[in-house]
Chains A and B, each alone.
Chain A
């Protein structure tokens, strides 16, 4: 099954303030995740997102589309990156996601197969 793992964190600027050792730890956790996924499936994609103050949101209400500054959800946690993985089941997704840096809250969403159009 394909899953998208959305990585959110409460304090996105922590990376900017992190020490070299702290950054190495985060990268090591990502590598451990990569390797664990590779053993049971594969990583189909993934990106780190720039900070939410660079986000632009389109929203259509009653047929009128407005473009606004900022992310679509103003919550305590902000999505900072994602992975797209192909793994056998949710348990595998949970087990591998545990290896990601503990600063993230990870939301696991199954991907809906959409027929080509």
Chain B
């Protein structure tokens, strides 16, 4: 028998989508489902029902109906989500306890949460909340804001969906293709939030990033199969597969070359490589997600840091730079070029790059200057990087590197 937290993880989005379709109100659907789970935690005990999702759906519906009855007339005038009559009736009629599998309307839910009319950060937060049922406090932690701030942001986003008339619906094929890109961006944003350097002592919020990976998995599952979501899932799996090796026993940051590769999750790497293999030979133009995933894959397959195929990585970064024009990508290309062809070649790539306020540019320049045998300039660049970094763990790292240059 699955445990209740497993049922929550696997069924929250499916159940919520059905309740949203039926009652057309997010707050009502969320509260009713949360209460149904609370009731389950109290009453299931040793003997859970034969069909847990069906039990939860029935309990949540009963609570939603009770609440609608109890609500004052004024409160009942809440704006309703736009749900077409057939979808609503389908959800209403659906009885999971007859043994049929739970009707899956998560695609509608995903498209609604990641609607382009929402700010991307709100869309990412709302997706985690509604599609996965992640608690608001955990989402706040992922995005490094106070829980009250996140709760307010979620409330605004829920209201906007209803007031602006964002439909709980499937768009036509052409629009869906566009919307898949928006959904992918939202998923990626959630994931990168988990890896954003914090200004506090916590370098990496692994469990928060876990939720984001789970979100990308669900997006991959419910959206039409395609290269974009395959690339995105591969990318997040590869990056996340290194989580255990990224932080040392002292809580310090461990850079890629120094990581203990036996601590990388091989099952996740294998899954990612399987997703990427058919894409490499595809004639379709590469997307940034694919190129980033291929770069991560080069690292993942190198048995040691020394055996990394840096020339190939430098080429992939060059392709990515052509596609995005991003100075951050150019910075990463400089690192790859330095590894492939020496520090002076890397420094040449850095020329003309401007990233105001970003500590990584002077940090990389410092590292390459040190390797090129220019310690005086390296020290100045380390000082510049230290002045810009707000992350304790990174500052310790930079100080140590600077100290290693001596004081000459």
Interface residues of A (CB under 8 A from B): 1, 3, 88-91, 93-95, 108, 110
Contacts and interface: CB of A to CB of B under 8 A. Distances in A.
B166 interface: yes
A94 B111 CA distance: 15
B77 to A, nearest CB: 10
A1 B175 contact: no
Given A88-B165, A108-B164, 20 more contacts: A1-B82, A1-B165, A3-B165, A88-B82, A89-B82, A89-B165, A89-B166, A89-B167, A89-B169, A90-B115, A90-B164, A90-B165, A90-B166, A91-B166, A91-B175, A93-B165, A94-B116, A94-B117, A95-B175, A110-B165
Contacts of A93: 165
B163 interface: yes
Lowest 5 A-B CB distances belong to which pairs? A89-B167, A89-B82, A1-B165, A90-B165, A89-B165
User: Mostly helix, strand, loop or mixed at chain B's interface?
Assistant: loop
Contacts of A90: 82, 115, 117, 164-167
Interface of B: 82, 115-117, 163-167, 169, 171, 175
Nearest to A88: B82
A1 to B, nearest CB: 4
Contact of A110 (B116, B164, B167): B164
B171 A91 contact: yes
A108 B115 CA distance: 14
Contacts of A89: 82, 165-167, 169
Contacts of B115: 90
A91 B116 CA distance: 10
A91 B163 contact: no
Contacts of B171: 91
A88 B164 contact: no
A9 B163 CA distance: 26
A91 B164 contact: no
Contacts of A108: 164
A78 to B, nearest CB: 23
Nearest to B163: A110
A82 B112 CA distance: 27
A108 B117 CA distance: 10
B265 to A, nearest CB: 39
A88 B166 CA distance: 10
A88 B85 CA distance: 12
8 contacts: A88-B82, A89-B165, A89-B167, A89-B169, A90-B115, A90-B166, A91-B167, A94-B117
B348 to A, nearest CB: 39
A4 B165 CA distance: 13
Nearest to A2: B165
A91 B164 CA distance: 10
Contacts of B166: 89-91
Nearest to B166: A90
A88 B171 CA distance: 13
Contacts of A88: 82, 165, 167
Contacts of B169: 89, 91
A110 to B, nearest CB: 5
A110 B171 CA distance: 20
A110 B167 CA distance: 13
